[in-house]
Amino acid sequence: MATVIERTEQQIERGADRARYLASLIAELGNPSEWEYTGVVNDRGQQDGKCACGHPIRYEFCIEHPDGREAVVGSTCVEHFEQVNPTLFAALTNAVEELKTKLAADKKAAKEAQQDEEIARLKEEREKLAATLKARFVEEEKMRTRGWVSEDTYYGYCAARRQPKEYKRKCDYLRWYRESIETLKRYVG
């Protein structure tokens, strides 16, 4: 557990890092209060870009000076503008939040697409097993007198006829198909 002295040293170190980044930002941009956000955010795909302060970034938030100079800042350097350029700070903060919202929506959509693919795959696998059991049931029924079939074939046939309930969540469909497939595999043998 960190002592009070260690925590104080860590706070001083973070403050020194912040001061270095801010000094680098001012050295690169000049007066930070003169810059404006252009509304452009570039996703480099990996952290191979450089913020105006020099640290590596993935998302480049483009800013522009009235004299036409352009620069990029990363999402962590947005906070440096809070005291010196509140308008730029507000615009960049909004852009960061919009980006986070978009990334969360993209991640959710990708997960849902993956679940849809998995459900389709499991459904196809289940249908093949069910068709095998139904065919076995019909064949045994034809071969035996009075339509009697073996207990395994009958229960397998009943399991094959079941359909999933109407679920709201895709994970519930995934669970149902996986459990149903395991049940049908026991009867297929």
* Residue 130: per-residue pLDDT: 87
Question: Over pLDDT 70: what percentage of the chain?
Answer: 92
Predicted local confidence at residue 145, as pLDDT: 59
Query: Residue 29: its pLDDT value, please?
Result: 80
Q: Please give the Cα distance from 139 to 142 (Å, whole number).
A: 5
Residues of the chain scoring pLDDT < 70? 1-2, 12, 14-18, 144-149
CA distance 70 to 42: 14
Quote the pTM value. 0.65
- Edge-first strand order for the sheet with 36-43 is 36-43, 59-64, 70-73
Phi and psi at residue 30, to the nearest 5°: 85, -135
SS3 of 11, please?
A: helix
pLDDT score recorded for residue 102: 92
Task: Supply the pLDDT for residue 2.
Answer: 63
d(CA 94, CA 103): 14
How far is the CA of 109 from the CAs of 95, 112, 156, 170, in angstroms? 21, 5, 36, 12
Helices (runs of H) and strands (runs of E) counted in the chain? 4, 5
Q: What pLDDT was estimated at residue 50?
A: 84
pLDDT in tens, 119-142: 999 999 989 988 888 888 877 777
Helix (H, G, I), strand (E, B) or coil at 188: helix
What pLDDT, on a 0 to 100 scale, did the predictor assign at position 149?
67
Please tell me the predicted confidence (pLDDT) of residue 119: 92
